[in-house]
Each structure stands twice: as structure tokens, then as C-alpha cells.
């Protein structure tokens, strides 16, 4: 069985967050969703658990950071092409997110952009030509 990743994010409005992630390509799995959580599936190995603040607090004694003013992690999804990167960021902006809060990655073998969800969680979307990557000297300075 391949390893799976479950990213757990605290959200202030579960319905809004669920709609946002559906707009950028995730599918809601109702088996693991209720009025306190939405299980959003990006692939057979990538899941994002959107949790109300009350639900999120059940898993940690630490305070919930405001992702609009501080950052603990950056998440990144792969894309099949440069145009797919642009498409996901455009969908995020159309669904109420912020397009390109960080710099674009522009190399001959890699292209990346970013977006923030309505709660301020920052995501990168990257396309890479893996066969060309080891040959690129500009990555040594990245």
C-alpha cells in the first residue's frame, strides 16, 4: 500500500472551505465528512481534512495560528503541465482565494505559482520536467 498524506487544516467556515477546495479540484469524501470536518481528496494518496476550529482543537493543545498573519507550513501540489498550474491558480482566485501571494518559480524545467485559501493557508502548484532537472545549473542558486 502506498503511503498516504492527510493534511489537517483549521477553517473558520467549513462550507466555504469545502466549496473552495472542490473548485480547485478536490472531491469531498462524505464517508469522512460531517458538520465538523470535510475530507477533501486530491488523489488516492493526498487528502486534506478541513476541520472546524473546535474539531481541530481536539487534536492539539497548542493555539491555532491565524494563517493570514503567520505561516507554519507551505503545501505544494504537482501539476501535469504549465497550463495546469495556471488553471489551478485561476480556479483558486475565482473561488475566493488569493492568487500568487508568493513569487513564481520560473526555470526551464520547472514552473510554479501559489495561492491562498480563504483562511490564508498557502499552497504551491508546480510542474516539473524531472528528466531535465538534474541538468539545470540555475537550481544551484535557487
74, 122 Cβ separation under 8 angstroms: yes
Work out whether the CA dihedral 13, 90, 21, 10 comes out positive or negative: negative
Domain 1-59 classification at class level: alpha beta
The predicted pLDDT at position 136 comes to 47
* pLDDT beyond 50 at 33: yes
Report the predicted TM-score, pTM, of the whole model to 2 decimal places.
0.86
The predicted pLDDT at position 141 comes to 52
Of all residues in the chain, the percent with pLDDT exceeding 70 is 94
* pLDDT beyond 60 at 140: no
* Domain 75-142 is found in CATH 3.10.180.10: yes
Q: What is the spatial distance between Cα 96 and Cα 20, in angstroms, rounded to a whole number?
A: 7
Mean pLDDT of the chain: 92
Grid cell in block for residue 98 = 488569493
Residues of the chain with CATH 3.10.180.10: 1-59, 75-142
Amino acid at each position: 500500500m502506498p503511503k498516504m498524506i492527510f493534511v489537517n487544516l483549521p477553517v473558520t467556515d467549513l462550507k466555504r472551505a469545502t466549496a473552495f477546495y472542490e473548485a480547485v479540484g478536490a472531491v469531498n469524501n462524505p464517508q469522512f465528512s460531517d458538520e465538523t470536518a470535510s475530507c477533501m481528496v486530491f488523489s488516492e494518496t493526498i487528502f486534506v481534512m478541513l476541520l472546524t476550529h473546535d474539531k481541530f482543537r481536539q487534536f492539539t493543545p497548542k493555539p491555532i495560528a491565524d494563517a493570514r498573519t503567520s505561516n507554519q507550513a507551505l503545501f505544494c501540489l504537482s501539476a501535469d503541465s504549465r497550463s495546469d498550474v495556471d488553471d489551478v491558480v485561476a480556479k483558486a482566485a475565482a473561488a475566493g482565494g488569493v492568487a500568487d501571494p508568493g513569487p513564481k518559480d520560473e526555470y526551464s524545467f520547472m514552473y510554479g505559482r501559489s495561492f491562498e485559501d480563504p483562511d490564508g493557508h498557502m499552497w504551491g502548484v508546480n510542474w516539473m520536467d524531472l528528466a531535465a532537472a538534474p541538468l539545470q545549473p540555475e537550481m544551484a542558486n535557487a
